[in-house]
Amino acid sequence: MERTLVLVKPDAVQRGLIGKIITRFEEKGFQTAGLKFLWMDEKKAGRLYEPHFGKAFYEPLVNYMTSGPITAMVLEGEKVIEQVRNMMGATNPQNASPGSIRGDFATRIDHNIVHGSDSPESAQREIPIFFEKAELVDYTKDISKWI
């Protein structure tokens, strides 16, 4: 079973989209292993976006991600990383398909609603930024065998 980090970004929180976004993942059949509401500080943002350090968009991205509260979640399922990325849609909302989260809700590349790990390596690096091991819950949903 694969795990991924998903963040509902400050613009989505401000627009009241947390529930709609979580619902999409739940309805797809992914299992929630961790969920929390927090205000990301610069240290966490710096660790999350460390691979982009030095790029022109790094500082504006850190400022945006620390501008308001976010919702952090760990989802698990078969090929969850790839599936979540597809559900989110293209990074630039102008290129995101209707029906994707960004295609339906985002309007700007710099305020694009959600973040999701882009690879198993990224997920392994990103999840501990937001969740201690003891905060992640392992359990079995009876419905999982039907999904």
Q: What are phi and psi of 120, to 5 degrees?
A: -60, -35
Please tell me the number of Cα atoms within 13 Å of 3 on its side-chain side.
Answer: 18
Distances (CA, A) of 87 to 49, 51, 56, 114, 130: 21, 23, 27, 10, 22
Distances (CA, A) of 49 to 19, 53, 103, 139: 25, 7, 23, 30
Report the distance separating Cα 89 and Cα 122, nearest Å: 18
Q: What are phi and psi of 20, to 5 degrees?
A: -65, -40
Tokens 């022109």 belong to residue:
56
Active-site residue numbers?
115
What does the block give as tokens for 80?
Answer: 């969850």
